[in-house]
Structure 1
Amino acid sequence: MVKEVLDILLVTHNPPENFSTYLQLSQTCFLKNALSQGKKMHSFIAHRRFAFATSTIFHNKLIHMYVKSGSLEDARKVFDHMKDRDTISWNTIIAAYRRHGFPDEAVTLFHHMEETGFQPDRFTFASVFPACAQMGAFEQGMNIHKGIKDRGILADDVVATALVDMYAKCGNIDKARELFDRIPQKDGFTWTAMIGGYAQNGLVEKALETFKQMQLIGVKPDSATFASILPACAKMKALEEGMDIHQSIKDRGILSDVVVATALVDMYAKCGRIDKARELFDKMPQRNVISWNAMIAGYVQNGVVEKALEIFKQMQLVGVKPNSTTIASILPACAKMGALEQGMDIHQNIKDEAVLSSPAVATALVDMYGKCGSLDKARELFDRMPERDVFSWTAMVAGYAQNGFVEKALETFKQMRLAGVKPDSSTFASILPACAKMGALEQGMDIHQSIKDREILSDDTVATALVDMYAKCGSIDKARELFDEMPQKDVISWTVMVTGYAQNGFVEKALETFKQMQLAGVKPNSTTFACILCACSHAGLVDEGCTYFNQMSNPYCITHTIDHYICIVDVLARAGYLEDTLNFIVKMPVKPVVIVWMCFLGACRSHVNLGLGLFTAMLLFEMDPKNAATYVLLSNIYAEVGRWAEVRMVRRLMRDRGIKKIPGCSWIEGQKMVHAFCAGDRSHPQTQEIYAKLEELSWEMRVAGYFSDSRHLLNDVEEEEKDLFLCHHSEKLAIAFGLLNTFPGTSIRVVKNLRVCADCHTATKFISRIVEREIVVRDVNRFHHFKQGECSCGDYW
């Protein structure tokens, strides 16, 4: 209709100069969202120079039309060219900037309005306070508030409600409540502002309490109220309260409201009822991008990542364009699945630069590439980010740490702090495992101090990561001290402590802590049992191991996984029950994997059973022909029984097949740095001093009765060469470095990537007695605490 009328006017020689006609046309244009027709009408009137074309009323209508049609730029042009503005002009343009997401410009216009002598009214303040809230501009909002205290305008409910909302969203919830309590007549908007304020500031119990008070005094909640209170239920995981609110929404007949329905989907998903969330989602008559985002995020949060990817595809098929929130939600699903190709496809298909430039999306991409092992791509994106916040730095640190690049993780963590970005609890929970893996106790202690300074030690995840770090760095007493200080301990915390004792060789303490956990009413999970079975294995506790294995089914109803079967195989085989172990493996309800047979082959080497060892090696050659460990273990068994021709045959077979033994590497911390050593390493700046120290120790050890254990070296190698080769193993180089660079009496802590060999184990016992120092070596299986010539493992490892 608008188009037809305009077409007639454009060809009319003497069009009517009727003000009301054009006002009606502008009204129709914004109602019909007909921006192009509105522009034509505006151009037509300006060209004809009608008398009313310069009037304030008509300009206000034009601004209104352009704003409602979504063209803020055209609205601003009209406003800027106005000779005579009134309060309505200012209010319309201020409100427009605030609603279109430019709160800073709205506040600037407000100040300009006052400077030009216009008196703001209730509608002005109803726009400017929400603008301050959007910006989090507490001081500006407070100053504007001070400026109107004497005007009597605060008695207006709309302005008072906007003030409550502003103070709440700027984090000053006490001031918001003070103003709220002073409002004599509170309507639904006022109550909703207070409820939303509590919810957004994390005071979810207060939010629910205020929601109940609102209903008790007879104020009926509306869509906005429900949309404010449901996130509070979601955060508290208050499912029952959420279900009651769901019933109230049904009773009010507003379940079809897309905002309310989306909030319900989000609430059920975050309370773990993803099935109920999907049911509601499927029944929604209308869905917007936020609804789809809630469902995708719900699946990701509940670990149903395949469904998240599936619904993301459905969203695109129905023509809903993903926004930055969608992409930031779906990429973690790819990260959890390790679905690099799907993640790359999503990255490739992001066309909208506004979406790609979103910090949340860029961070999610860095996180996805990092968790999928594509660290070069993750770093490339990270380096291209114009601004990096704590989340992006944490994603990069976690990517390095989770992929085993612990030195890179620690280096990136240092860069983060040098850049002035303060780590949060997630950052600390990501970097502490890196310290644990490297045995970097000093750096871990520095991070511990930072956590204290930030006052986030009460965070359960951070506290648990600290306990784990101290335990894996061999400082088990400090780990226990922190564990005991934790106000709340969940199954993960208890499991970490049990594991810490087990790995450090304090098996009785591990079993005692496991019993304490049960007495505390904390139900052990699958991981807890795997840890306790591992403890039994390293201590030779066969009966206890079998008892715990059986307890999983009764009384705990935990299904045995391959990890538990591996542990029991290790328990039986280490103790020398090789025939029983073989029978157990054959009768396992799950197919034995490579590691099962590797455990068994390792026991065949320890107990020198060539027949079973050869049988197991043949199986492993078929299952995993490229695994160097099989060749090494078989070679060692042949060496133990003196069959040197077969030793040479196995080693020749390795060479012919291009299989290389993993080189032994050890790490030790010194001067707040982690120093790495490989067998025979001569790259360290202190190489001469290190080798001189080893020669000195070798002489003292021989005087004390030490003889090198060269059983696994080829028989035709000269004895002197054998001694020299053994002397230069990586852990011995690291120990020598530690003795040169630490104070007498302090502990030396070394981390090794392989199992400690018999010779190094014996030698370290002698060294600990000679230098009168504790030496802690963490190998791939466990800790060895050497002190006064003894090892905590009792020579059972």
Structure 2
Amino acid sequence: MMGLKPNVSTLACVIPACTCLGSLDVGRSLHGLAFKSGHLSNGYLAPALVSMYAMDDNLCSARDVFESLQEKNVAVWNALIHAYKVKQKALDVFEIFRQMIRSGIQPNVVTFVCIFPACENLCDSAHGKCLHALTMKHGIGCQISVGTSLVSFYAKHGDINSAESLFDDMPDRNLLTWNSLISGYVHNRLFDESLAVLSEMQVVGLTPDPVSIISIVSACSKLKAILLGKSAHAFSEKMDFVSNLNVSNALLAFYCECHDVSSSFAIFNRMASRDIVSWNTLISGCVRTGHVEKAWELSHLMQKEEMKLDFVSLISILPGYVSIDYLLQGMSLHCYAIKMGFALDVALVNALISMYCNCGDLDSGSLLFKIMPRRDLVSWNALMTGYRNRRLDGDVLVLFHQMMEEDHNIPNDVTLINLLPSCCSQLQGKSIHAFALRRGILRDTPLLTSLLYMYTRFDDIRCSLRLFETGDKLDISLWNSLMSMHVQTKNSYKAVDAFCQLLRMGLEADHVTVMILISASAQLTITNLAHSVLSYMIRKGFEKDIAINNSLIDLYARCGNLSIARDLFNSSDEKDLVSWSVMINAYGMHGNFKAALNLLSQMELARMKPDAITYLSILSVCSHAGLVHQAKMIFRSMVEQGVSPNTEHYSCMVDLLGRRGYLHEAFEIVKGLPHLASAALLESLLGACSVQGNAEVAEGVCKILLKVDPSNSASYVMLHNTYAAAGRWTDASRVRFNMERRRLRKVPGYSLVHGS
């Protein structure tokens, strides 16, 4: 406007501004103006132009500007090194640095500060150590910026001792130096040490900045240090760090990790801006805490706000779909993945295979596995886990052999955990144990506990105990396995003793520990022990959990204390179907049939629809009390309510009708079964016929029983006795003749009491 032409200094100021503002078209125009005006000859503008083109993802143009210079100073080399470092091309960075050294240019502080972050992206630390030696040679190793970069480099490569030594030897430190050490501790999972360094930093008079807070909140997440994390949150609010998107995302992740979903949503709703990390963090948190529907709603809201789901979003949501109820939603996400071009991502396909298997659609999971263009070990493990969860042990073994033949993948701990339940013999289990020892993966507690369960299944308690001794005694899941083993082998005293041991070690019991302890107490049926268990539950707040409260009701019922069982039932703020079934069964166990039937009526009045387990409990009550009329009404009601009777319901009815003399009705139920009756059910009815001398029904039952188990001599004996009791000696003789013809022998009786 004033007719003045920009000089080199003007362009040197304006071009970086264009880079920061993203006005790259203007920057390119200024490049043309500089060329036209002859301002490129001295190389003063070159660093700014190199940085501008690197920001435009145009490394070729940046390299052309660099190569066009006749003389290249250290600033130009640094600009090119920085450009390649930003694009995470670590090997190119070192090649440029080598060319710089060969051309005789001496690196300065800026050079090393640019290169050290590139070293962090390389697998080995050799490059960084060479650079460290060069900084000492050039006498700039004591500079704060160089020392800070070295602390960060060594920490990121896991050499925390060298990082600490460098930090301690630095004559001067700034906030960035302290943050580098704090971040290094967090990176190496030394969370307590990171908190200690933060305290020390504040003692020397430095105030944490957003970078400090992000590291500390991450440490609090891993330590589940809720109070300390909330303090960091309060400090962030006070200093207005929450306006920083990265700080807000870190706080969001902290509350999700601590299962405080309400606080997570409070932060999320207050965020002025959100990125894909914010959405994915909250979605993943909802899934981990069991709020799958909220995760689904968030995905819809995310799309309404024109934020597209990426493959991380999908991988975050899919693990929440663990039942057939979510199959359609899972399929819709699969369709979305295909539409968005994510369907070939191996990690996403693995998550989809797990989703289909968890939702009961093994065919779709298997088909997806078969058409994968590329598989990794996780793919094989995902399908194996699906088969194992459905108890398809044969398919697990077939898939494992296929994996070894086709992909030659080396099994990991997850593979072995899937294989162990499929072992048909202890020898197979020992082979897996030997493989784990050879591969050095037996230190992982989940694999150790799986091996412990395997040996318990084959009654090798000695090996199970030896495995326990080799494990991490501070891991509660290992103690859970030991207690469970004792309960399975009916050594409940030892299970209770193990619980006392873990408490003496200062370990905190979890939900699984408590359930196993109650199971052990239920086997022992000692009232004082039940009182102690209840006291512990109340002190630790476990009694508020529905499943635990239901188990406590059953425990007291087995100990003969119905009044406390009913008090626990009444005091429960929330009751599920199991609660009602357990209490009904408790009354039936003690012969209080009227109270059990009254409770069923109360359940229906509370609009709680009985399920198959509830109906089985009440039918068992009727069976023990001989309440035929009530049992018929309840059985009819069950069918009318749309609950399909299973074998146990039919057995209960047949047993009741048979014992009360309604043999023809019982036999009609047997004949009308949708499947062939079991031998135990038929023997029960045949025994009732023998007791009551009903040869007609006994004959019909025996015909069915001989189809089910032709070699069962007991059925012939009972039929013979029935004919004999009815005076039908000819038929009795015929039965005996058939036994002899089939070469069947009556199993001789024996006494458990031996004479002296």
Calculate the TM-score normalised by the size of structure 2. 0.73
Corresponding residue to 1:31 among 1, 13, 20: 20
Listed as ranges, the gaps of 5+ residues in structure 2 are 526-550, 680-696, 714-745
Structure possessing the higher relative contact order (Cα contacts under 8 Å, 6 or more residues apart): 1
1:164–1:177 Cα contact (<8 Å) kept: yes
Tell me the equivalent position of 2:710. 724
Matched, 1:271 2:286: no
Matches within 5 A, 1:550-569: 550=565, 553=568, 561-569=576-584
> Could you tell me which amino acid in structure 1 is paired with residue 24 of structure 2?
L
1:351/1:621 Cα in 2 relative to 1: closer, same or farther (>3 Å)? closer
Tell me the equivalent position of 1:181. 168
Tell me the equivalent position of 1:650. 669
- Displacement, 1:199? 0.3
- Displacement, 1:36? 3.6
Provide the C-alpha distance between the structure 2 equivalents of 1:524 and 1:515, rounded to a whole number of angstroms. 16
Matches within 5 A, 1:366-381: 366-381=353-368
Provide the C-alpha distance between the structure 2 equivalents of 1:495 and 1:577, rounded to a whole number of angstroms. 35
- Displacement, 1:231? 0.5
1:224-273 Cα shifts (integer Å, max 9, x gaps): 22222220111111122223333433443433222122222222332333
1:164–1:194 Cα contact (<8 Å) kept: yes
2:522–2:558 Cα contact (<8 Å) kept: no
Matched, 1:163 2:178: no
> Could you tell me which amino acid in structure 1 is paired with residue 18 of structure 2?
C
Matches within 5 A, 1:110-125: 110-114=97-101, 117-125=104-112
Provide the C-alpha distance between the structure 1 equivalents of 2:519 and 2:255, rounded to a whole number of angstroms. 34
Matched, 1:544 2:531: no
> What is the Cα-based RMSD across aligned positions, in Å?
4.8
Tell me the equivalent position of 1:232. 219
Tell me the equivalent position of 1:214. 201
Tell me the equivalent position of 1:598. 616
Corresponding residue to 1:617 among 635, 658, 677: 635
2:521–2:555 Cα contact (<8 Å) kept: no
1:355–1:361 Cα contact (<8 Å) kept: yes
Matches within 5 A, 1:342-491: 342-350=329-337, 360-382=347-369, 391-412=378-399, 419-421=408-410, 423-424=412-413, 434-435=421-422, 441-449=426-434, 461-472=446-457, 474-475=459-460, 479=464, 487-488=473-474, 490=476
1:299–1:305 Cα contact (<8 Å) kept: yes
1:179/1:252 Cα in 2 relative to 1: closer, same or farther (>3 Å)? same
Provide the C-alpha distance between the structure 2 equivalents of 1:228 and 1:412, rounded to a whole number of angstroms. 43
- Displacement, 1:201? 0.8
Provide the C-alpha distance between the structure 1 equivalents of 2:102 and 2:342, rounded to a whole number of angstroms. 38
Provide the C-alpha distance between the structure 1 equivalents of 2:72 and 2:284, rounded to a whole number of angstroms. 47
1:562/1:333 Cα in 2 relative to 1: closer, same or farther (>3 Å)? same
Calculate the TM-score normalised by the size of structure 1. 0.69
Matches within 5 A, 1:2-17: none
Most deviating of 275-284 and 470-479 = 470-479
2:255–2:261 Cα contact (<8 Å) kept: yes
1:619-646 Cα shifts (integer Å, max 9, x gaps): 3333446444244654566677897765
| Greater helix proportion | 2
Tell me the equivalent position of 1:290. 277
Matches within 5 A, 1:626-645: 626-629=644-647, 630-631=649-650, 634=653
Matched, 1:139 2:157: no
Tell me the equivalent position of 2:235. 248
> Could you tell me which amino acid in structure 1 is paired with residue 473 of structure 2?
P
1:274–1:298 Cα contact (<8 Å) kept: yes
1:187/1:542 Cα in 2 relative to 1: closer, same or farther (>3 Å)? closer
Provide the C-alpha distance between the structure 1 equivalents of 2:445 and 2:171, rounded to a whole number of angstroms. 43
Matches within 5 A, 1:771-786: none
1:195/1:75 Cα in 2 relative to 1: closer, same or farther (>3 Å)? same
- Displacement, 1:203? 0.6
Matched, 1:715 2:715: no
Provide the C-alpha distance between the structure 2 equivalents of 1:68 and 1:370, rounded to a whole number of angstroms. 45
1:540–1:575 Cα contact (<8 Å) kept: no
Provide the C-alpha distance between the structure 1 equivalents of 2:562 and 2:475, rounded to a whole number of angstroms. 25
1:529–1:549 Cα contact (<8 Å) kept: no
Corresponding residue to 2:114 among 123, 127, 135: 127
1:696-721 Cα shifts (integer Å, max 9, x gaps): xxxxxxxxxxxxxxx99943529976
Matched, 1:88 2:75: yes
2:242–2:248 Cα contact (<8 Å) kept: yes
Secondary structure of 1:398 counterpart? helix
> Could you tell me which amino acid in structure 1 is paired with residue 227 of structure 2?
E
- Displacement, 1:557? 6.8
- Displacement, 1:196? 0.6
Most deviating of 244-253 and 633-642 = 633-642
- Displacement, 1:79? 4.2
Provide the C-alpha distance between the structure 1 equivalents of 2:381 and 2:191, rounded to a whole number of angstroms. 27
Secondary structure of 2:242 counterpart? coil
- Displacement, 1:65? 1.4
1:321/1:132 Cα in 2 relative to 1: closer, same or farther (>3 Å)? farther
> Could you tell me which amino acid in structure 1 is paired with residue 205 of structure 2?
G
Secondary structure of 2:111 counterpart? helix
> Could you tell me which amino acid in structure 2 is paired with residue 95 of structure 1?
H
Secondary structure of 1:154 counterpart? coil
> Could you tell me which amino acid in structure 2 is paired with residue 151 of structure 1?
H
1:226–1:245 Cα contact (<8 Å) kept: yes
Provide the C-alpha distance between the structure 1 equivalents of 2:266 and 2:219, rounded to a whole number of angstroms. 21
Provide the C-alpha distance between the structure 2 equivalents of 1:510 and 1:234, rounded to a whole number of angstroms. 33
- Displacement, 1:726? 4.8
Provide the C-alpha distance between the structure 1 equivalents of 2:115 and 2:150, rounded to a whole number of angstroms. 10
- Displacement, 1:311? 2.8
Secondary structure of 1:153 counterpart? coil
- Displacement, 1:566? 3.4
Provide the C-alpha distance between the structure 1 equivalents of 2:343 and 2:14, rounded to a whole number of angstroms. 40
Listed as ranges, the gaps of 5+ residues in structure 1 are 10-14, 665-710, 728-765, 771-787, 791-797
Tell me the equivalent position of 2:688. none
Provide the C-alpha distance between the structure 2 equivalents of 1:616 and 1:607, rounded to a whole number of angstroms. 14
Count of matched residue pairs: 666
Secondary structure of 1:208 counterpart? helix
2:280–2:312 Cα contact (<8 Å) kept: yes
1:647–1:714 Cα contact (<8 Å) kept: no
1:398–1:431 Cα contact (<8 Å) kept: no
1:370–1:399 Cα contact (<8 Å) kept: yes
Most deviating of 62-71 and 349-358 = 349-358
Provide the C-alpha distance between the structure 2 equivalents of 1:383 and 1:139, rounded to a whole number of angstroms. 42
Provide the C-alpha distance between the structure 1 equivalents of 2:570 and 2:442, rounded to a whole number of angstroms. 35
Secondary structure of 1:715 counterpart? helix
Matches within 5 A, 1:745-784: none
Most deviating of 383-392 and 28-37 = 383-392
> Could you tell me which amino acid in structure 1 is paired with residue 559 of structure 2?
E
1:529–1:564 Cα contact (<8 Å) kept: no
Tell me the equivalent position of 1:741. none
Secondary structure of 2:360 counterpart? coil
Provide the C-alpha distance between the structure 2 equivalents of 1:270 and 1:616, rounded to a whole number of angstroms. 47
1:216/1:627 Cα in 2 relative to 1: closer, same or farther (>3 Å)? same
- Displacement, 1:191? 1.1
Corresponding residue to 1:75 among 56, 62, 70: 62
Tell me the equivalent position of 1:261. 248
Provide the C-alpha distance between the structure 1 equivalents of 2:206 and 2:363, rounded to a whole number of angstroms. 57
Provide the C-alpha distance between the structure 2 equivalents of 1:494 and 1:218, rounded to a whole number of angstroms. 46
Most deviating of 586-595 and 635-644 = 635-644
